[in-house]
């Protein structure tokens, strides 16, 4: 390969850039994926339970909770409710699809801009007719609510996790996305849109303009073609999500439903009623709000759900709960809702949304910010390192270009293969910069080291020099490849992707560096003689020589002190806590952490989990005995001990609905907020209840979160979160799951039934188990493989054992520090070992190979070690500086997890370098390792190059 690069440099350079051009287009397919589903292996039991639960009870991941407080004055005022009604109405447009109004709105925008598109409405209606009845199609044309899913009359067994995940799990829009043409674009004024739209359209326009950073636009402003295109795309996206009726449930202080009972009916009524025209009759005075507060107090389940109050019975805050449909990609609607909240936060009311969708919203935004921030910073740091090391233009440009090409190749390949960018995968470019800079530094340092020989022998000397270092680079890349590849055995999907593509990127970096740098150097003029002489003198070189002498003179104390440090570190390792809660990714002063703590304290939890129980027969959930046992269980779950130990803060069940019905049918007396004893009474209540059934499955929408259409399976919706100064953690959640399962197993009634704790939040917790298991596999497997490679390479078992000293001691030291400082091991930090082994082994290989090379030239061990400091020491130091600086960049991340990752890996790189330069040579000297030089054939392939 080296000969090819030197003899046919132009061909190699052209080939590299053609491949780069092809890979570049693959990068356009890259997409960010903040969801935990990108992490979870699909065969894990918890994942499959959660996916099947979504079919019946909805997706608990897509549960959004917002606290509503006043910035000044009283909360319950007419002005505040006018403001609150605005946001409620905007969100309700995603709950009830108005076909006629939405089509008119979109058509107006299309007409004003003279946009065109190929699809026709009739074509799309025919396309969905396979899933819709004739009545539904008629409802579609008249603007009434429709059912988006294929209805199933058969019982769906949530517990049958061996069955395939339902193909119709996700709700689909009523038509496909249009591709608009602006060939005949007519400039559109903002005022034209405002005048043409109704009030809801103008409200949507304001939100979308804010999304597009055009919120200052108004009046006579004329949209540029590109701005109009983005505006049209946003309206198109909003239309599609509205057609899904993406908001499945919406409990809020305005349109939230309660139940009113009469002699022969149970009717759902909004908390704030409407007049005949559909306008909200918002409370206006103290008397109105007194009536309103009575409505809130009439339903005990509303407290800590729709409102909170203090010890003086004063309402201190309101709340809204949004449950989205099971949507395959919820990122758009989540981004839209966050923009709605941000827009309305400019008023007197303060909205604080939390929940897994909010976590993922900020993860996605922070990932974008980090991507923009990391690459320029890390490239700048590496360029400075190259400049300080090589002090020449090509010494900076060639290594930098090699790094950029390897990143494009790797990211482009990921794009072609559809690999998503998760928070872990997102840092891979930084890793590739570190790896690529290491190889480039080794290659270019060797070139400068052998410059005098190259000057005298021209291309022959260049081939010899590059061949000499290429063996080191090849071995380093091989061990790095293995280090990263072992992550491919992880069950955590994003870790698997990170490991596989970091390994591939390592090979790309090695190939590009080994081809591009020699090829360009062969076309370049050889520097003047004084350049190399100036490089021979320097503080670093003198310090390395002194370090070598110090190491050889004090080798035994060095090894002894190192052993003591590692023993202490082992104690710290035993204290490591594994954490995978989504909030653990964020800094303590971030919005996510602060908001979660605030809302969780105010509304008794912010993060949902589910306990599903199968009664074993249709109608079993309606049985009074079961309901009373279920109500007792729900109360036990949030009892004092469980709240204190596990942060189980609030529970909701089907019992709450039945108790509310019983209270409504018995003159609203508090004593009747209970489960009736007579099964016939419960049956009557359900027959009398006239709640809306939008999906026509026979079960009112308000009950769908708590039972299935056959009334066979019950779901306890449990809220957990920050409590009493303790943050939500995956460890506590797993302990809570164990406590719940133990309690059910010991209960005479429930022990005979099927039950399962599930939900998206549990998926996060399960990741901690997978992380722990994967971490051990990664470390053990990598160390074994690398020791075998070193043993075969040097044909010396002692050399293989010694080679593990720098990386294993570094890992043990840093993990020990994590344990003592209570820094949790999470998904992101679980790559520390692989990165340390994969990159850190380079210094070890370089030092051992150089010692072996000088031994093969007839030098004694003492002299060989000292000469190795001169040749390999400088490259090791500069490589380590580049690595440390590159990883320190991660400390500028918005994520706490990445901050610690950057800090800890930088510490690892420093520790590995110190161990490679001090502990490793000391161990080689003590053990008198000679690498079986007598049988060595390395002289035949590696020419003697002039040392310094």
CB 420 within 8 A of CB 32: yes
pLDDT in tens, 528-538: 654 444 444 46
**Percent of the chain at pLDDT exceeding 70:** 93
pTM of the entire predicted model: 0.83
Widest pairwise Cα distance in the chain: 108
Predicted confidence (pLDDT) at residue 747 exceeds the cutoff of 90: yes
Predicted confidence (pLDDT) at residue 941 exceeds the cutoff of 70: no
- The pLDDT value recorded for residue 122 is 41
Helix, strand, or coil here: 280?
Answer: strand
Predicted confidence (pLDDT) at residue 134 exceeds the cutoff of 80: no
Task: For residue 286, give both structure tokens.
Answer: 């103290």
Predicted confidence (pLDDT) at residue 320 exceeds the cutoff of 90: yes
DSSP assignment letter at 604 = T
**Tokens 């709105």 -> residue:** 105
Predicted confidence (pLDDT) at residue 137 exceeds the cutoff of 50: no
Question: For residue 667, how far is the Cα from the chain centroid?
Answer: 51
| Mean pLDDT over the full length of the chain | 86
Please give the residue that has the higher pLDDT: either 948 or 425. Answer: 425
Q: Whole-angstrom Cα distance, residue 423 to residue 32?
A: 9
Please give the residue that has the higher pLDDT: either 215 or 864. Answer: 864
**What CA–CA distances, in Å, run from 912 to 482, 582, 759, 826, 833?**
18, 31, 42, 22, 12
Predicted confidence (pLDDT) at residue 761 exceeds the cutoff of 50: yes
Long-range pairs, 936-939, Cβ under 8 A, ≥24? 936/852, 936/856, 938/852, 938/853, 938/856, 939/856, 939/857
The secondary structure element, H or E, covering residue 720 is strand 713-720
- Beta partners for residue 269, in sequence order: 258
pLDDT in tens, 256-299: 999 999 888 999 999 999 998 889 999 999 999 999 999 999 99
**Percent of the chain at pLDDT exceeding 90:** 49
- Beta partners for residue 726, in sequence order: 723
Tally helices (H) and strands (E) across the chain. 33, 15
Predicted confidence (pLDDT) at residue 459 exceeds the cutoff of 80: no
Q: Judging by DSSP bridges, how do beta strands 247-251 and 315-324 pair with one another?
A: antiparallel
Average pLDDT over residues 189-208: 93
Backbone torsions φ then ψ of 323, nearest 5 degrees: -110, 115
Q: Whole-angstrom Cα distance, residue 655 to residue 800?
A: 66
Sequential DSSP letters for 873-890 = HHHHHHHHHHHHHHHHGG
Q: Whole-angstrom Cα distance, residue 268 to residue 271?
A: 10
Q: Whole-angstrom Cα distance, residue 412 to residue 406?
A: 10
Q: Whole-angstrom Cα distance, residue 385 to residue 379?
A: 10
Q: Is 319 left (phi over 0), alpha (psi -120 to 50) or beta?
A: beta
Return the sign of the alpha-carbon dihedral for residues 750, 754, 759, 762.
positive
Residue among 427, 425, 415 at smallest CA distance from 493? 425
pLDDT in tens, 481-516: 888 888 888 888 888 899 999 999 999 999 998 899
Predicted confidence (pLDDT) at residue 39 exceeds the cutoff of 70: yes
pLDDT in tens, 366-409: 988 888 888 888 888 878 878 877 888 888 888 899 999 999 99
Task: For residue 768, give both structure tokens.
Answer: 């901690």
Confidence class for position 147, pLDDT limits 50, 70, 90: very low
pLDDT in tens, 324-371: 999 988 889 999 999 999 999 988 999 999 998 898 899 888 988 888
Q: Which residues contact 241 (CB under 8 A, 6 or more apart)?
A: 94, 173, 327, 332, 333, 336
Confidence class for position 522, pLDDT limits 50, 70, 90: confident
DSSP assignment letter at 365 = H
Burial class (CB in 10 A: 0-12, 13-18, 19+), 278: exposed
Predicted confidence (pLDDT) at residue 191 exceeds the cutoff of 70: yes
pLDDT in tens, 649-691: 999 999 999 999 999 999 899 999 999 999 999 999 999 998 8
CB 156 within 8 A of CB 55: yes
**Tokens 């990165």 -> residue:** 835
Predicted confidence (pLDDT) at residue 416 exceeds the cutoff of 70: yes
Q: Judging by DSSP bridges, how do beta strands 607-614 and 713-720 pair with one another?
A: antiparallel
Q: Whole-angstrom Cα distance, residue 883 to residue 877?
A: 10
Task: For residue 748, give both structure tokens.
Answer: 């005479």
Predicted confidence (pLDDT) at residue 7 exceeds the cutoff of 60: yes
Question: For residue 336, how far is the Cα from the chain centroid?
Answer: 19
Instruction: Assign 3-class secondary structure to 247-266.
Output: EEEEECCCCCEEEEECCCCE
DSSP assignment letter at 895 = B
Q: Is 143 left (phi over 0), alpha (psi -120 to 50) or beta?
A: left
End-to-end CA distance of the chain: 27
Strands of the sheet with 713-720, listed across from one edge: 648-652, 713-720, 607-614, 754-758
Please give the residue that has the higher pLDDT: either 129 or 597. Answer: 597
């Amino acid at each position: 390969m080296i000969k090819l690069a030197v003899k046919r440099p132009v061909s190699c350079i052209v080939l590299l850039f053609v491949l780069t051009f092809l890979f570049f287009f693959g990068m356009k397919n890259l997409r960010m994926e903040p969801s935990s589903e990108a992490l979870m292996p699909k065969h894990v039991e918890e994942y499959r339970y959660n996916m099947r639960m979504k079919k019946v009870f909805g997706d608990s991941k897509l549960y959004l909770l917002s606290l509503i407080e006043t910035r000044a004055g009283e909360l319950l005022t007419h002005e505040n409710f006018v403001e609150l009604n605005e946001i409620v109405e905007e969100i309700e447009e995603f709950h009830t699809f108005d076909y006629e109004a939405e089509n008119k709105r979109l058509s107006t925008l299309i007409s004003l801009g003279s946009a065109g598109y190929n699809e026709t409405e009739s074509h799309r209606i025919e396309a969905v007719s396979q899933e819709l009845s004739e009545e539904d199609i008629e409802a579609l044309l008249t603007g009434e609510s429709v059912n988006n899913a294929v209805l199933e009359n058969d019982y769906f067994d949530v517990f049958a996790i061996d069955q395939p995940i339902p193909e119709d799990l996700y709700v689909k829009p009523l038509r496909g996305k249009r591709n608009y043409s602006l060939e005949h674009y007519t400039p559109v004024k903002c005022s034209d849109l405002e005048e043409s739209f109704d009030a809801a359209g103008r409200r949507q326009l304001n939100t979308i303009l804010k999304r597009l950073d055009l919120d200052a636009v108004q009046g006579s402003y004329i949209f540029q073609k590109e701005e109009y295109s983005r505006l049209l795309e946003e309206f198109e996206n909003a239309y599609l999500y509205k057609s899904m009726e993406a908001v499945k449930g919406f409990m809020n202080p305005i349109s939230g439903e309660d139940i009113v009972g009469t002699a022969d009916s149970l009717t759902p009524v909004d908390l704030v009623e409407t007049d005949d025209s559909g306008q909200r009759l918002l409370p206006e005075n103290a008397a109105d709000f007194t009536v309103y507060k009575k409505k809130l107090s009439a339903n005990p389940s509303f407290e800590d759900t729709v409102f909170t109050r203090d010890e003086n019975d004063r309402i201190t805050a309101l709340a809204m709960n949004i449950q989205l449909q099971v949507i395959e990609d919820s990122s758009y609607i989540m981004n839209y809702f966050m923009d709605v909240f941000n827009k309305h936060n400019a008023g007197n009311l303060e909205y604080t949304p939390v929940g897994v969708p909010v976590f993922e919203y900020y993860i996605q935004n922070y990932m974008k910010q980090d991507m923009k921030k990391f690459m320029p910073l890390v490239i700048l740091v590496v360029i400075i390192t190259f400049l300080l090391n090589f002090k020449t233009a090509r010494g900076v440009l060639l290594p930098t270009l090699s790094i950029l090409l390897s990143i494009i190749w790797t990211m482009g390949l990921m794009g072609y293969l559809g690999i998503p960018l998760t928070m872990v995968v997102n840092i891979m470019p930084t890793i590739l910069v570190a790896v690529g800079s290491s190889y480039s530094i080794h290659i270019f340092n060797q070139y400068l080291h052998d410059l005098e020989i190259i000057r005298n022998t021209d291309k022959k000397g260049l081939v010899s020099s590059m061949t000499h270092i290429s063996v080191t680079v090849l071995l380093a890349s091989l061990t790095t490849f293995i280090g990263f590849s072992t992550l491919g055995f992880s069950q955590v999907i994003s870790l698997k992707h990170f490991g596989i593509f970091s390994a591939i990127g390592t090979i790309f970096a090695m190939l590009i560096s080994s081809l591009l740098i020699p090829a360009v150097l062969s076309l370049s003029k050889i520097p003047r003689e004084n350049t190399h002489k100036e490089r021979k003198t320097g503080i670093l070189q003198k310090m390395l020589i002194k370090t070598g002498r110090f190491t050889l003179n004090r080798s035994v104390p060095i090894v002894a002190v190192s052993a003591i440090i590692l023993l202490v570190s082992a104690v710290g390792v035993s204290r490591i806590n594994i954490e995978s809660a989504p909030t653990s990714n964020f800094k303590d002063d971030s919005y996510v952490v602060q908001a979660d703590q605030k809302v969780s304290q105010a509304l008794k939890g912010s993060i949902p989990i589910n306990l599903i129980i199968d009664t074993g027969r249709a109608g079993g959930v309606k049985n009074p005995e079961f309901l009373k046992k279920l109500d007792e269980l729900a109360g036990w779950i949030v009892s004092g001990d469980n709240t204190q130990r596990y942060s189980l803060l609030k529970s909701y069940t089907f019992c709450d609905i039945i108790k509310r019905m019983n209270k409504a049918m018995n003159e609203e007396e508090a004593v009747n907020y209970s489960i009736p004893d007579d099964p016939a009474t419960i049956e009557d209540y359900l027959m009398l209840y006239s709640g809306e059934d939008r999906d026509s499955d026979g079960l009112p929408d308000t009950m769908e979160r708590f039972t299935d259409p056959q009334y066979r399976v019950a779901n306890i919706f449990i809220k957990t979160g920050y409590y009493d100064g303790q943050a939500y953690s995956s460890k506590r959640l797993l302990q809570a799951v164990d406590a719940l399962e133990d309690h059910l197993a010991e209960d005479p009634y429930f022990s005979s039934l099927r039950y399962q704790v599930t939900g998206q939040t549990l998926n996060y917790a399960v990741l901690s188990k997978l992380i722990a298991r994967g971490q051990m596999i990664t470390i053990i497997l990598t160390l074994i493989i690398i020791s075998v490679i070193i043993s075969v390479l040097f044909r010396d078992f002692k050399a293989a054992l010694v080679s593990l000293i720098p990386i294993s001691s570094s890992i043990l030291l840093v993990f020990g520090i994590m344990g003592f400082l209570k820094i949790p091991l999470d998904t992101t930090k679980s790559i520390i070992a692989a990165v340390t082994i994969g990159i850190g082994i380079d210094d070890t290989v370089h030092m051992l190979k150089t010692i072996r090379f000088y031994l093969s030239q007839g030098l004694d061990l003492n002299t060989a070690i000292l000469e190795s400091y001169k040749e390999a020491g400088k490259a090791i130091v500069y490589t380590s500086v580049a690595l440390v600086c590159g990883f320190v960049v991660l400390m500028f991340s918005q994520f706490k997890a990445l901050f610690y990752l950057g800090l800890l890996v930088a510490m690892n790189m420093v520790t590995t370098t110190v161990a490679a330069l001090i502990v490793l040579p000391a161990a080689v000297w003590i053990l008198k390792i000679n690498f079986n030089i007598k049988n060595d054939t390395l002289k035949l392939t590696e020419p003697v190059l002039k040392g310094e």
